[in-house]
Structures are given as C-alpha cells and as structure tokens.
Structure 1
Amino acid sequence: MQQMMTSELVFIPSPGAGHLPPTVELAKLLLHRDERLSVTIIIMNLPFGPKHNTQTPSCTPRLRFIDLPCGDSTMALITPKTFLSAFVEHHKSNVRDIVRGITESNSAQLAGFVVDMFCIAMTDVANEFGAPTYTYFTSGAATLGLMFYLQAKRDQEADDVTELKNSVTSELNAPGFINPVPANVLPEVVLDKEGGSKMFLDLAKRFRETSGIIVNTLQDLESQALKYLLCSSNEIPPVFAVGPILNLESKNLDNGKTDEIMRWLNKQPESSVVFLCFGSMGSFNEKQVKEIAVAIEQSGQRFLWSLRRPPPKEKFEYPKEYDNFEEVLPEGFLARTSSLGKVIGWAPQMAVLSHPSVGGFVSHCGWNSTLESIWCGVPVAAWPLYAEQQLNAFQLVVELGLAVEIRMDYRTDTRAGGGGSGMIVLAEEIEDGIRKLMSDDEMRKKVKDMKEKSRAAVLEGGSSHASVGKFIDLVVNVTI
C-alpha cells in the first residue's frame, strides 16, 4: 500500500527555554488534529542551559527533530548585542540544506515554514523555496498588538517611542489595551536607543509579510488585543489564537527531585502554599534573596521557593543550582522555617501549580508561566524581571484582575548576575504582596473562572480549537 503524501511544515523555534517547549506542543497538536500533516522541527542548539526532552511517543511518527550543532563558529556569535540576529543568520545555510532534502523526497510536500517570532529572518529561506511563512508568537496578543502599533507609529508618523525611556509619568493609549499603558512597563528593548528598539519593531514589520500569525493565547483572556489584531484596516496577516499551548505531561530526568517535592506538597493543607519561581532565566543577587527570605519568614506563610544562583556578570548563561542554600540565605533561615517551607533549586513548575496544596504563585510573569497559572487556577503575585514580563504583569494586575502586584515595573539584567538593574524590592513590599495573594477571595474567584474558560477554549467547539482548524485548512490548501 502506497504511503500517503503529507503536507510538511518546517518549524524553527528560538533556542530559549520559553520557546522550544511550546513549539513542540503546537506541532504535536497539529499532527493530532490532521493526519495529512507532518512536521520537522529544526533545533538551533546553544552550548549552555537546560537540555530539552524532544522524545516523542510512538503515536506521533510524523514528527521528527533535527539538531543543529553548536560549534566554535556559533559560539563566536553569542554576544548580548548581536546574539539573536547573527545566530539565526548563521544557521540559514543549514536550514536551506535540510529543506532541500524535504523537497527532494517523495513522502512529503513542503507546505510552509512556522518560525518563532525571533527567527523571522528564516522567511528569506522559505521565500527561496516559494513556501509561505507563518509566525509563531509565543508571547501574548497584547504584546504582539503593541509591536504592530509602535511599528506603525514609527514608520507612518515618525514617532520615536525611545523618548519615553526613564519616564515615570508617560502613558500610551495603545489600542490592544483597555487602560493607558505606563511607559515604565514597556519592554526594555522597545525603549533602547542603541538599536534595540529598531531591531524589535523591525520584527513586526517582517511579521506583516507572513501568511499568518499563530498566537499562544485565547479569546477570553485577550479579547481586546485580538479585536485590534483582527481588524482588517491594520494590514495585519490572519491571526490564529490557538492557546493555551502547554506541556501537560512533562517528563523530566530530575533524579527523583519531582517525587521529593510532590511528597512534601502532599503533606500540606489545600491552597496553603505560596510557590515562588522566576523562570529559566530568573535569579536574584544575594541582597535581594535576603529580602525575599525575610518577607517569607515574616508572612508566616507555607512556601515552596525555587532559588537559583545567578550567572557570572556579563555571561550569557542560565542560572545554576546552589551547592548549599545557607551561603546566600539569612543565618538560621532554613532551620527556623523548616516546619513551614521548603527551598529547592530547579522546580517542575507545571506539576507544582497543578497540586491542590498550592494556593498562590509569586511569578516573573513569563507568558508560559502566565498561561500555566491560569490553566491551574492559581492566582499570581507579579514580580516581572525582563523581556515583555512587565507588560504581562500589567495585563494580569490592571487589565484582568488576575494578580496582585509586588513590583510591576521591576527590571533586571539577565546578563548582569541577577538584579543587575540595581533595584531592590524590600521585604515589607514582598510580604504585603504575599499576604494579598493568599487572602484576596475576589481575585481567586476570577482566576478560577478564567481557568474554566482556558480549558473550554481548547475543547471541540471552543475558540482556540476552531482557530487550530482554520490554520490547518489554510496550510493543507497551499500548493507549492
């Protein structure tokens, strides 16, 4: 029996921990929904950071991974200023060779490229093959809408958003938001006068050239932003809100750490534990760690704290594990809080948030973490660190009422040893945020409601389920 010719999508994720997992999950979802599709995910590896498990179950034979090695020539590109653009350019020839092999095979027909928001330069390779490019935007629709809005203001009105840098009073009436957006929660790169702003808004310009944009969000969560994105007068490609895209069955090789954490959580009362975790790049300097510890102890709250060592100054690396937490925590802290809490290194975040004993989440508000907290119905105390997290925090606290604020405008430099901005949030402020997080019943009710909506969205008849179907119809009807 002759094998059916499939429509092949080439996925190109960014190499960050917040980008590859949702890319894999989107690919698996598409393959589950339609047997006419096949997917190749090309992974551009970094020499540092967590290794991701890309093993797929036997039920997804139409999914394959191709790892591109990271040699000395790649390492030379890893500098803060040129990292992403140079890194992607470096890999174009490798991607070109892989795709040529796909087009020359008899088992699949190239249907398009699905490229991460930061890999949009790979559109050039797709164009060489006459293939459409679809952007996978792994942040929220409000951030995407803000990018388009600011890019249009720059190119059509010569408006320079970097003039708002360091302003504490300026606000933007951005169309994807209900409330005016304070300048101090805009992504730092948008305000960068040294080329970062131009680079970032040029991404939006290239998004406009693509055949569609997939966004990891849902209609009920970001209705205002999606209304703006779907307005035809804005000259934005078709937008598909397909989220939440989450890895609900994460399997990690963690030497039993997850089991140990789960055993501890099993002993705690329902909704009694506050979970502090700040993402794959999140860390704090010693002074800030001590303020957090004092806040936790003074709150008297049960806690699970994921605490990790900052990378060396000016090194582009992920945080590491501490050999001994006592070297950074206040003297006697672990002994005094042993009956109430547990300090850990790496955390199995989704498993923790899913546990019934967890009642609150002190979070950096990365988009994946935001979606996970909503899916699990756990309210957030917002403490953003970098990237678009301040904007996500503003959405959660001000726009949606799904979070309380610890410090919405906090910023750190992930390449400067954690807490590199010089900002220190004092213990009193952190303690106040934790107390509000664990006692605000109205917010908890809103979060539970959004939890139900997020789960309904991905079921048959839900808004995200329908968007996935529309995207598949677009893909399989393309003939190259």
Structure 2
Amino acid sequence: MASITRPPHAVVVPFPGQGHVNPLMHFAKILAARGFFVTFINTDRMEQRIFKTPNDSAAVSHQLLQQGLQIRFLAVYDGLPPDHGGVQAIDEYFLATQKLGPAMVRILRSTANEAPQITCIVTDCFMACTHHVATSLAVPRVVFWTYCASAAIALANSRTLMDKGYIPINVKEARRPENLITCLPGKIPPLIPTDLQTFFRVQDTADPMFQVIMYESEIQNEADYVLINVFEELEGPEAAEGLSKGYPALPIGPVFLPDFLQSTKSSVSVATSLWEEDLDCIKWLQTKALSSVLYVSFGSIAVMSMKQLQELALGLEASEQPFLWVLRPDIAEGKAAVLPEGFTERIGERGRIVQWAPQLKVLSHPSVGGFLTHNGWNSTLESISFGVPMIGWPLWAEQFHNCRFCKEVWKIGMDFESRVENENALVSREEVEMVVRAMMEGPQGNELRKNAARLKEAATKAVMAGGSSYRNLDKFTRDMTARANSVIE
C-alpha cells in the first residue's frame, strides 16, 4: 500500500453582496496559498458585477494558477428577474439565496471530474442554503463569520434572546441597567438590546426580515467548524468559544491583511469592487499632511436621505478639516446626491469627492487620521488594522454593535449622540462639525489614534507567522488536510 496526500478542496460560498464576497475572496486566496484547491461559488448576478465578460473568471483563474493558487469560479442563477433591486430589496434577496442549495449541488456534481474530491463547504454565515449542500455531499460545513465574535454570538443566539424578551427590541429602554444582556455564551462584554440586529427593532415578529434573520440564526448553529474574521487580541482568546457547540471556533482574521502586507506588483488581484475605484484620490492624499484627512465612506449598500447628505456636507465644510468623501451613485436612497449649492467651489482642494475609493490604500495612507464610517465589520476591521480611529454613523444590521464597541470597549471611536438615541434622527451640521473637529484636532482624537495604533500592531502580529490567527489557520489547514488524506493500494 502506498500513502498519498490529496490536496484539500474547499468550496467557498459568500452571500452575494460586496461586503461578504470581499472577505471570503481574501480567505479563498489564503487557502489556495496553503495548498487547497478552491471552488468559489457566486450567484450569476454577482458574477456579472465582478467579472464583466464570461471569459474574465477563467482568465483570473489562469492568472492565479500561474502563482500556484488553484481557484476556479462557478455561478448559479439566483432566480430573480434581471431588474430586481438586489440587496435594496433585502428580504426578497435573502429568500432567494435560501433556495440555492439544489442548484449548487447540481453544479458541483456536474463539475466533479474537474477538481479533487470536495473536503468541506466554507460558507458565509448568511447562506443557510449551504446546509443542504453539505448534507447532500456528506462533507463538513465550515461557517465563516463576517462579524466579530461578540456580534456573531448575539446573532447565533437570537432564539434565546427572543425567549428572554430582549427581542423585539425596545429602543427607548435599551440602555436601562436591568436590560443588560449577560446570558450569552463566550466571554464577551455585556450587550445592550440595541447592539442586536436592527431587523429585530420592528415590533411585528411576522415581519419578513425578522423571520429571515431568525431562520438564518438557527442554521448558523448547524456547523461542523467555525471561523471568525477577527483576531484574538481584539476580543480575547476565549470570546470565540461562544460560537462552538463542541466543534472548533477559531479567530483567523483580518483575512485581508496577509495579502495586503505581502502584495507585490506581480500579484494577482481579484477585483470584487462593484464600482470603479478612483485611484487619483491617492495622489490627492499625498498632498496632505500626516493624519490630517478625514475619510468618509458608508460602504456598498447603505443609503441616506438627501436632507441628511446635505447636512453632512455642510458639517464637513464647517469643520474646516481636509476630507475624502465617497459618494456612491446610489447613495441618496437610490439616486445620486445633490450637494448644497456652491459646496464644491467653497471647499476647493480641501475636500475630494469620489464615487468609489480603493479603501485599503486610503486607510493605509499616512495622511488619513480618521474614518467617518457606517461601521460595517469589513470597514471597522480594516480601520483597526491600519490604526485609524473612527467616527461611527451606523445605519443597520450589526453596525450599532460595532460602533458602540469601538467607542466604549476598544476606545478607538466616537459617535453622534443623536443617532445613539434615535437611528432615524437627522444629524445636524453643527453636530457633524463638533465631532469631526474633536476627532481631527482635539486631544480626544489624539488619544484614540494612540489606542488604534496599538491595535494595528496587534492585528499585524496576529496574521504573521507565529501569531494567533496564523496558528489558528495552521490548525484549520491540518484538520482539513487530514480529512482529505486517503490511503490507496
């Protein structure tokens, strides 16, 4: 008998949104660099946004292979009409993803002769359909959390929180001491009800998104292995244990950072941005002083009212601070923003407005000294990794959790008090000016930058050889390689 080692084959399935495709694409490259064969499955809608022509995905796979990274891309039809609003019609979008399991099984079986035997399904935490895929193919289901550990624990235990009366959320009473949430597993700080998903703020439990998130939270626990896009030093080495039900639960992030730290001009970048990045803004940043620029971006999904965008603009103008502002074409509730009359002329070269920015390059630039952000986990973790303190402007999902933790737990952030009290409140230009000035030129901002610099160092150490995330990835690699191994005559 001769012993051979087969490469592990991970099927990686992101939720079809940029904030989920990005981290799972980074993780796919990490796995491929560790000897895995990776199949990356998108919906056809997302595939067409990322790869503009049918041949693009094959070309990228070939380029990756030239660097020794075996990643192939497959796509399944999402069942929605071409003109569907996607994540802007979020409940329909989620319900469509929950039906994708059989299509994924069919495409994996029909292409089985093109790849090694499947070792595991690495699934986004919001792709409940992969439970069917893993069961049908008799392989482990590895749940990849695109949240930090404490937010993930809260979501995975939604049923418990509902049974104890924390859900639906009473926002007005959330901060009362008697409403502190201390019943969750894992060693995490006490939560308040408004740290939980904003979809639970509706009072009608028959609400479609309320039901969608409750269902997803139950399937999130149907795992054989858990990986979290965070590093142990941020939340403590034992926080992740709250996501385990007898199987490993490992912090392995920030998953974007190894590739960023090791990137070269010759490395292959898989462009998952849904808008064209304005690279000229980097040249503009180079003209600004150290830590002087406020970066303003609300991610790939969030929208605001036109009135709120105008108040924000006037607050940035009044602050007299340099700023780089990402204004997506659909930021104003699906429409382009209309800025106050004369605004661009008045700010001149002090401000730069772009439709989309290369965020990693921006946050890592030495002229950036603060980040006004929606506090999505990707943006929050990237800001932490580059030592940039944040002004939180959370809008939905778990962003209120991330914002509060940045301010009260990790001591690297500020927020707007009006939004803490009422998520629908209009943040005035006066409050914007006051908070921006405090971040960019006040002693509090300087202290936050010092704290953020310490976390930047910890994040970098975590992903380097011997660091906590690196060691956890070693364990995952060993476990999956052992499963893939076979002995044949």
Query: Which SS does the other structure have where 2:348 is aligned?
Result: coil
Alpha-carbon distance in 2 for matches of 1:306, 1:22: 21
Deviation at 1:375, TM superposition (A): 1.5
Alpha-carbon distance in 2 for matches of 1:231, 1:290: 42
2:438 to 436, 439, 444: 436
Closer, same or farther: CA 379–201 of 1 in aligned 2, 3 Å: same
- Aligned residue for 1:346? 356
Deviation at 1:309, TM superposition (A): 4.2
Alpha-carbon distance in 1 for matches of 2:274, 2:170: 42
- Aligned residue for 2:288? 268
The 5 Å alignment of 1:113-262 reads: 113-154=121-162, 158-168=163-173, 169-170=175-176, 171-174=179-182, 175=184, 179-192=189-202, 193-195=205-207, 196-223=209-236, 227-230=238-241, 235=245, 237-246=247-256, 248=260, 258-262=278-282
Deviation at 1:92, TM superposition (A): 2.2
Alpha-carbon distance in 2 for matches of 1:84, 1:183: 24
Alpha-carbon distance in 1 for matches of 2:397, 2:274: 28
- Aligned residue for 2:266? none
Query: Which SS does the other structure have where 2:369 is aligned?
Result: strand
Alpha-carbon distance in 2 for matches of 1:300, 1:376: 24
1:67 to 54, 75, 90: 75
Deviation at 1:47, TM superposition (A): 6.9
Deviation at 1:370, TM superposition (A): 0.8
2:367 to 357, 377, 393: 357
Alpha-carbon distance in 2 for matches of 1:153, 1:177: 17
Deviation at 1:26, TM superposition (A): 0.5
Alpha-carbon distance in 1 for matches of 2:48, 2:197: 23
Q: Does 1:40 align with 2:39?
A: yes
- Aligned residue for 2:103? 94
Deviation at 1:31, TM superposition (A): 1.7
Alpha-carbon distance in 1 for matches of 2:276, 2:136: 47
Query: Which SS does the other structure have where 2:126 is aligned?
Result: helix
Query: Which SS does the other structure have where 2:232 is aligned?
Result: coil
1:288 to 303, 308, 314: 308
Alpha-carbon distance in 2 for matches of 1:387, 1:164: 13
Alpha-carbon distance in 2 for matches of 1:285, 1:163: 26
Amino acid at match of 1:98: I
436-445 or 20-29, which moves further after superposition?
436-445
Contact 1:151–1:202 (CA<8 Å) still a contact in 2? no
Alpha-carbon distance in 1 for matches of 2:420, 2:274: 31
Deviation at 1:409, TM superposition (A): 4.3
The 5 Å alignment of 1:292-303 reads: 292-303=312-323
In the superposition, the TM-score normalised over structure 2's length comes to: 0.83
Q: Which has the higher helix share?
A: 2
Q: Does 1:470 align with 2:475?
A: yes
- Aligned residue for 1:24? 25
Closer, same or farther: CA 115–72 of 1 in aligned 2, 3 Å: closer
Q: Does 1:375 align with 2:385?
A: yes
> What are structure 1's unaligned runs of at least 5 residues?
314-318, 413-420
273-282 or 303-312, which moves further after superposition?
303-312
Q: Does 1:395 align with 2:396?
A: no
Closer, same or farther: CA 75–300 of 1 in aligned 2, 3 Å: closer
Alpha-carbon distance in 2 for matches of 1:121, 1:16: 16
Alpha-carbon distance in 1 for matches of 2:211, 2:79: 29
Deviation at 1:290, TM superposition (A): 1.4
Closer, same or farther: CA 256–473 of 1 in aligned 2, 3 Å: closer
Amino acid at match of 2:425: M
Amino acid at match of 2:108: V
The alignment-based identity, stated in percent, is: 28
Contact 1:390–1:408 (CA<8 Å) still a contact in 2? no
Alpha-carbon distance in 2 for matches of 1:255, 1:123: 32
Closer, same or farther: CA 21–60 of 1 in aligned 2, 3 Å: farther
> Residue by residue, what CA displacement relative to the aligned partner does 1:176-218 show, whole Å, maximum 9, x if unpaired?
5765433233221233423444432443332332111111000
In the superposition, the TM-score normalised over structure 1's length comes to: 0.85
Deviation at 1:410, TM superposition (A): 5.8
Deviation at 1:461, TM superposition (A): 0.8
- Aligned residue for 2:428? 426
Query: Which SS does the other structure have where 1:118 is aligned?
Result: coil
2:325 to 289, 305, 323: 305
Alpha-carbon distance in 2 for matches of 1:408, 1:219: 32
Deviation at 1:147, TM superposition (A): 2.1
- Aligned residue for 1:418? none
> Residue by residue, what CA displacement relative to the aligned partner does 1:330-357 show, whole Å, maximum 9, x if unpaired?
1211111103111221121111111111
Query: Which SS does the other structure have where 1:235 is aligned?
Result: coil
Alpha-carbon distance in 1 for matches of 2:125, 2:408: 26
Deviation at 1:72, TM superposition (A): 5.4
Runs of 4+ with deviation above 6 angstroms: 74-77, 253-256
Query: Which SS does the other structure have where 1:477 is aligned?
Result: helix
Deviation at 1:106, TM superposition (A): 7.6
